[in-house]
Amino acid sequence: MQRAFLSLFLLLGFAGATSQAQATALAGPATVKDTIVVRLPNKAVITLMVRDAAQLRQLKKYQLDSLTSRLATYITQAEAAAKASSTNQVTMEFYPDKDQPGKNMPEQIRITTHKTSAGTATNNKVDVLMEKASNNTGFSFKVGGKTDEERRVRETNRDSIRLKNFENHHHKSHLILDLGVNTFVNQKTYLGLNGQPESLDLRTEGSRYVNIGLNWDPRLGGKRSPVSLTIGPEFAFNNYMLSGNNKWVNNNGRTDVVRETNGRQYQKSKLATSSVNLPVMLRLQLRDSHYRPTFLVGAGGFVGYRIKSWTKLKYTSEGTTYKDKEDGSYNMENFLYGLQGTIGYRDVEFFAKYNMNQLFKTGAGPDTQVLSFGVRLIGVN
């Protein structure tokens, strides 16, 4: 390397960036105040860490052109040692200042060489301590990738951005989309129109639950508190699809499940509802050391109102497919209330919703409650 490199390097340290090298002041450890990153045209990277401006001015006393020649020799030795080693990584240390005292040579040079799957040595990392090791002053060269210092600085910057975004979002709002299934729970003995006990079984794959909402999460506590309150309107769609060849019938102020006897074979036989709900939940969102969301849990309740309900039958007769739809209240409860919660980790979140109210009015239909559960596809962390 020629002496022009030294002039360019010092100019970079004191004056800023040129077209072939860039200097960037970055946050470092507690003992390092400034970092200068030099990117050379051949994609090599040199990182200079200094504690203060005085250390930067002392660079002129070092023979950097001689240093680069020594580095080439040391790297050759390190690569040869890595090839002969049985491990995937070899670290060697050299002490030029002890070998040639009084010539202002670096105190220590540490070279770490990694071995690829083909057995060749590559990806050299060179740390050069210019003065005493306790001063934390040195160069870091990386061949074939980013330096550890660059990675550390980039990770620190990302952490800082995540923390800033987390602290500044006191009242986040976000869309949610829940997809799941419904099931009947706490069923009492159900007597059909003939006065005999009847089974009330649902087809799991057809008894779908869909919920779309806009939630607000005002934070409770300080700007880094993991606890928030979740509120916001939601629109839910429940399907209760019967198993077997049964259908929902509304007669004489009662809703019953009746088996079809006229020879039709139902492909689908369901009762569906739509409702608007307002949840109120406490939410705990934990984060890792880099402020990325990890475990979350939410629990609370909801109130709602049934907007509409209808039945739908699908069957085939003489080669023609029919879809019969009939709107009505079907003696269902209008006001809804219950408990709900969520649990998740990172980008995966599940929900459960338990309706404490009866599905039908007392004495006007089967005595049962509804449990819905599934996965939340759209949310926020």
pLDDT single digits (tens) 62-77: 666 777 777 778 888 8
Q: Specify whether the CB–CB gap between 377 and 175 falls below 8 A.
A: no
Going by pLDDT thresholds of 50, 70 and 90, the confidence category of residue 343 is very high
Question: What's the CA gap between 130 and 105, in Å, rounded?
Answer: 7
Residues 125 and 259 occupy one common structural domain: no
Determine the 3-state secondary structure of 216 from DSSP.
strand
pTM of the model: 0.62
330 near 311, Cβ under 8 Å?
Answer: yes
Any domain includes 228? yes
Domain extent, residue 219, equals: 170-378
Q: How large is the angle between the packed helices 3-15 and 64-84, nearest 10 degrees?
A: 100
Q: Among residues 184, 109, 115, 108, which one has the least CA distance to residue 144?
A: 115
Higher model confidence: residue 322 or residue 85? 322
Question: What's the pLDDT tens digit per position in 133-150?
Answer: 555 556 655 555 555 656
Distances (CA, A) of 83 to 21, 77, 88, 126: 33, 10, 9, 17
Under DSSP, the state recorded for 188 is P
228 with 286, same domain? yes
pLDDT at 13 > cutoff 80: no
Residue 5 pLDDT > 90: no
Q: Are residues 114 and 179 in the same domain?
A: no
Task: Give residue-wise pLDDT tens across range 89-99.
Answer: 778 888 887 87
Strand partners for 211 = 178, 236
For 299-339, how does the pLDDT look when each residue is reduced to its tens digit (9 = 90+)?
999 999 999 999 999 998 887 888 999 999 999 999 999 99
Structure tokens at 235: 């629109």
337 & 275 share domain: yes
> Residue 185 has what pLDDT?
94
Residues 254-282: pLDDT tens digits? 898 888 878 788 999 999 999 999 999 99
Q: Which amino acid is at 71?
A: L
Last residue of a domain, one of 136, 157, 178: 157
Among 157, 186, 216, identify where a domain stops. Answer: 157
Within this chain, do residues 273 and 357 fall inside the same structural domain, yes or no?
yes
Q: Is the pLDDT of residue 25 over 90?
A: no
Q: Other C-beta atoms within 10 Å of 132: how many?
A: 10
The CATH number that applies at residue 328 is 2.40.160
Which range has the worst mean pLDDT, 105-119, 139-153, 180-194, 302-316?
A: 139-153
**CA 379, CA 381: separation in Å to the nearest integer?**
7
For residue 12, give the 3-state DSSP assignment. helix
In angstroms, rounded to a whole number, what is the distance separating the alpha carbons of residues 59 and 128?
13
Whether residues 190 and 43 share a domain: the answer is: no
Domain for residue 163, yes or no?
A: no
Structural domain count, the chain:
2
CB neighbours of residue 222 within 10 Å: 8
**Terminal Cα distance for the chain, rounded:** 51
- Residue count (the chain): 381
